[in-house]
Homo-oligomer: A and B are copies of this chain.
Amino acid sequence: MGGDAGPSIVVSALARAVQRHPKVKFILHGDQSALNALLGKRRAKLTSRVTVRHAEAHVRMDEKPSLALRRGRNTSMWRAIESVKSGEAEVVVSAGNTGALMAMSMVQLRVIEGISRPAIAGIWPTKRGQCVVLDIGANVECDADQLVDFAVMGEAFARAVLGIERPTVGLLNVGSEEVKGHDAVKNAAQMLRDTSLPMEFHGFIEGDDIAEGTVDVVVTDGFTGNIALKTAEGTAKLVVSYLRSALKRSIMARLGALLASGALNALRRKLDPRASNGGMFLGLNGVVVKSHGGTDALGFASAIDMAVDMAEAGINKCIIADRAGVGMPGQEAVAS
């Protein structure tokens, strides 16, 4: 029921997802009559794959997470997470209120043992393909232990979901020398140098290394990660707006743009944020994917794709196994 456009985009996305993932079944949580109306004539065809589960209320987009948590047991968001908790579903996808989704997920699914706090991970396009960046907004302040947890979870994600055999991990910092940065990144770097994980710790990276594709996993606190992500989105838009106005400045330029329109459309598709829509909540006993609230059916369908990939890859088993590989050795190294 969430997202800026409400459930209509979810139902349209569902119609795509049903075709793309023939073995997957879906439970739609929300206002039954609204959802049935949206399903409309598609309903009969989807009946074996889609179940509508009525929920009286829904979490508003601007609602405080603490309030949503108190009054929210009868909301579609709570119920959707509950179906993962009960084992009826494996993943939950929502375009709703991010803070409420995280709070309700933590209460119901609980954090994986050994992980201090969940993080939100995002896929980032690079010159060499893609990388995973975390945290992009769940934790405004992070200590070294949390950053190490993020490295573990990001590495597991890159290996299990992106299929990279031995992912390289970088800590986002203001310089690549060991003396740079604040205590949290310096201590986390020391701990990561001592892990026995199947992870290639690259050391510190800088902001321009993200798009360069220097590493497969970019680890940072949720404050910096969120600002870096949105700064990159804003910059990409700015460059495209410069390009658009440059190509309108003369008849020659317009003609050139017309001839190159196929290439320019391919560029537009490559930069389309809907293709990698979805913040993955990592570190919970259950898979939760947060679609951008302002996305459309195409974007929401991408978030469903990601959720299916994560469930099929068994992301949480990987995190649990990897977390066992860190722990005391690294912490001793910092204490000594």
Inter-chain contact B127/A241, CB cutoff 8 Å: yes
Residues of B within 8 A of A257 (CB): 256, 260
Select from chain B the residue with minimum beta-carbon distance to A228.
B231
Extra A-B contacts (16), CB below 8 Å, given A207-B234, A235-B239, A239-B240: A127-B238, A141-B182, A174-B222, A181-B223, A207-B230, A212-B238, A220-B227, A224-B227, A227-B227, A228-B228, A231-B232, A236-B238, A252-B260, A255-B256, A256-B257, A259-B259
Inter-chain contact B263/A250, CB cutoff 8 Å: yes
For residue A143, give the distance in angstroms from its CB to the closest CB of chain B: 13
Inter-chain contact B260/A242, CB cutoff 8 Å: no
Residues of B within 8 A of A234 (CB): 207-212, 232
Stretch at the interface among A83-91, A265-273, A298-306, A308-316: A265-273
For residue A267, give the distance in angstroms from its CB to the closest CB of chain B: 4
Interface residue ranges of A198-228 to B (CB < 8 Å): 206-212, 220, 222-224, 226-228
Is A44 in contact with chain B by the CB < 8 A criterion? no
Residues of B within 8 A of A173 (CB): 227
Inter-chain contact B182/A207, CB cutoff 8 Å: no
For residue A257, give the distance in angstroms from its CB to the closest CB of chain B: 6
Is A137 in contact with chain B by the CB < 8 A criterion? yes
Inter-chain contact A231/B208, CB cutoff 8 Å: yes
Select from chain B the residue with minimum beta-carbon distance to A141.
B182
Is A25 in contact with chain B by the CB < 8 A criterion? no
Is A53 in contact with chain B by the CB < 8 A criterion? no
Inter-chain contact A256/B250, CB cutoff 8 Å: no
Inter-chain contact B239/A236, CB cutoff 8 Å: yes
Is A334 in contact with chain B by the CB < 8 A criterion? no
Instruction: Tally chain A residues at the interface, Cβ within 8 Å.
Output: 63
Inter-chain contact A172/B250, CB cutoff 8 Å: no
Interface residue ranges of A36-84 to B (CB < 8 Å): 64
Is A249 in contact with chain B by the CB < 8 A criterion? yes
Inter-chain contact B227/A137, CB cutoff 8 Å: no
For residue A46, give the distance in angstroms from its CB to the closest CB of chain B: 37
Inter-chain contact A270/B253, CB cutoff 8 Å: no
**8 A–B contacts, CB within 8 A, in A order:** A127-B238, A141-B182, A174-B222, A174-B223, A207-B227, A210-B234, A239-B240, A256-B260
Kindly state the separation between the CA atoms of A250 and B261 in the bound complex, as whole angstroms.
Answer: 11
Partner of A253, one of B127, B237, B263: B263
Kindly state the separation between the CA atoms of A235 and B243 in the bound complex, as whole angstroms.
Answer: 14
Residues of B within 8 A of A180 (CB): 140
Interface residue ranges of A136-180 to B (CB < 8 Å): 137, 140-141, 172-174, 179-180
Is A125 in contact with chain B by the CB < 8 A criterion? yes
For residue A204, give the distance in angstroms from its CB to the closest CB of chain B: 11
Kindly state the separation between the CA atoms of A224 and B174 in the bound complex, as whole angstroms.
Answer: 8
